Structure 1
């Protein structure tokens, strides 16, 4: 069985896709020996495309208000234990200024779907950040909106958009989300973003409640169809104040294996080693890089609010200053032979954009 799966990995490396049944069998066969075969291949492909450069994104979690009620999320609207906050525009610009001085050239504005941050307010915020930091990329991660709204933010200067699809299987989507949300709409948002011209990021949680190898296969097939510039995956980690608070977390091993698979499927993809990966293992982010990832997202949010953006429990780096996060991450990457670079870190297809 191991030999069959090694052949599947070789075929995936050559063709960047496998038939559904073959892909599912590969996921079912995940084991230590197979991972040891996969990771050097993923690392080599990443080095061919991006060398040993690790791109950093300055994460600014600017609001934890959300109109949605996703069952896995700690900032869901029904969570009365959440300590809500919103950063002001001045505070957000202060985070950007600090990040710029530390070498960040991408800012990721992430928040719940907060009605206070209406389309026109977000548009004004993007324009202001872009005017202050014209050589930086702005990434938005603020959920599902209409195509016209996405267009106005793009026109204002936002170049990237992160929207995890969470699962490409409708029955699994229903387990994770309330009835008013639909997988069809979420996928349409991703296609709209692609059409507008964003560098688009999708992704999913590994080991979320009810997840099967067949459903993970659908995730990979959807990702291959979408051809996103970024893919964000991380282990599911329960949050105590949600309906899934007592569920079992996803595993390091499965997450790393999927990172390697995605690198073979999309050789030029921008692939984060996520904070969630670092949360479930002390060296999770380093192991993620060695499995094929090439992006990290240190937190630029004010220390006072970091614990309040509690998507899941025991999140790391909630007490560190931004400079500490940046310097610690640089040292960690250097220890395994990689270097954090001062760069926008665009997808290779967008290399005409100034670095």
Structure 2
């Protein structure tokens, strides 16, 4: 069976064996056919709609020491900050006026943001904007914590698994972090009832093609409502400072295969894609992505939330970001919609 036939079968069955995925990854002669197939599948469910999420980066303090991350605990070169509750609510006010109907509260694993603090923020957002969804991305927490945030009104939770290989995970994270706990957290989020997001970096240090195959099969098994896939980009103040960045091609292939395996998923075309290529986000949309996440954080703090180097859109005001993205999305043949953008069964 040639690669085009394999792509057709995955697009029809939304299932693949290891050898099928590996064949598609290794054969770059049919990439355009793969991207067109992924785009066709997303259009069958979501049409040309692209959902915007207002990203609010609330803290760059983190208790963890992940080897790839610019806000890791041991980075002494970074100025730390955290937003107050009024800061966060002001970001939501701005975002709502610009048409955002999902707010993504993201930060490092900052112990200041206890359950009580986060629950207060979530409740106030939901009280003021009941037609909006609230997504939390604050790392690994206890089952009790996840339940409290859900009860307070959180609709979605993003927690990238980063890699489905225990051996690979341990090469990217310090000893005190547990692969088993990361997997447990994802399953717990699904059981509680969150629209759950997993995902991984493409081209991270020590990653093999077999790791990428396993990551896609893990996503298929987990069936998350959201799947965040972006290239690894090195940060100068981490142990991986000299490592090669992930490639545009490999990332787009992973996005497209994710769309074929999870046809209903909400898949962002990430800022990291736009960082490694000026047209990266547009190409991500054409490869099956259907979400963009412009930044609502105060401009003065954006450069401090640097998970990787050379991140784009650091100096744009929220309104500028919104207009710029709208133009880019339309140039790629899609349209931004003012909608919560929930997962569609």
Match of 1:279 in 2: 275
Task: Give the Cα–Cα distance (whole angstroms) in 2 for the partners of residues 341 and 21 of structure 1.
Answer: 38
Match of 2:37 in 1: 41
Task: Please point out which of 122, 125, 128 is paired with 2:124.
Answer: 128
2: CA distance, partners of 1:276 / 1:21: 28
Q: Tell me the SS of whatever aligns to 1:348.
A: coil
Aligned pair partner of 2:160 in 152, 164, 171: 164
Q: Distance in 2 between matches of 1:49 and 1:198?
A: 21
Alignment equivalent of 1:298, drawn from 294, 297, 305: 294
Distance in 2 (CA, whole Å) between partners of 1:219 and 1:42 is 18
Q: How high is the TM-score relative to the length of structure 2?
A: 0.99
Q: CA offset at residue 24 of structure 1?
A: 2.2
The reply to whether residue 232 of structure 1 matches residue 237 of structure 2 is: no
CA RMSD of aligned residues (A): 0.8
Summarize deviations over 1:140-180 as a string: whole Å, max 9, x none: 00000111110110000000000000000011001100011
Query: Is 2:149 the partner of 1:153?
Result: yes
- Tell me what 1:6 maps to: 4
**Match of 1:277, SS?**
helix
Listed as ranges, the gaps of 5+ residues in structure 1 are 350-355
Give the TM-score normalised by the residue count of structure 1. 0.96
Q: Which position in structure 2 is the counterpart of 1:175?
A: 171
Helix, strand or coil at the partner of 2:320? helix
Please state how far the C-alpha of 1:337 moved relative to its aligned partner.
Answer: 1.6
1:22: which partner in 2? 20
Query: 1:3-152 counterparts in 2 under 5 A?
Result: 4-29=2-27, 31=28, 33-152=29-148
1:190-229 paired onto structure 2 within 5 Å: 190-229=186-225
> 1:8 Cα deviation (Å)?
1.6
Q: Which runs of 4+ in 1 moved over 3 A?
A: none
Q: Deviations over 1:196-239 (max 9, x none)?
A: 00000000000000000111111011100000000000000000
Spell out, residue by residue over 1:110-162, the C-alpha distance to the aligned partner (whole angstroms, 9 max, x if none).
00000011111111111111111111000000000111110110000000000
Matches within 5 A, 1:307-326: 307-326=303-322
Between the aligned partners of 2:15 and 2:211, the Cα distance in structure 1 is: 16
Aligned to 1:328: 324
Q: 1:303: Cα distance to partner?
A: 0.2
Q: Partner of 2:339 in structure 1? A: 343
Secondary structure at the counterpart of residue 40 of structure 2: helix
Q: Distance in 2 between matches of 1:85 and 1:78?
A: 15
In structure 2, list runs of 5 or more residues that go unmatched.
Answer: none
How far apart are 1:25 and its partner, in Å?
Answer: 2.8
SS of match in other structure, 1:124? helix
Shift of 1:19: 1.6
Structure 2 match to 1:352: none
| Aligned counterparts of 1:11 and 1:298: Cα–Cα separation in 2 | 35
Note if contact 2:295-2:318 (Cα within 8 Å) is conserved in structure 1: yes
Asked if structure 1 preserves the Cα contact closer than 8 Å seen for 2:31 and 2:253, the reply is yes
Q: CA deviation at 1:83?
A: 1.1
Q: CA deviation at 1:59?
A: 0.1
Q: Distance in 2 between matches of 1:52 and 1:219?
A: 27
* 3-state SS, counterpart of residue 2 of structure 2: helix
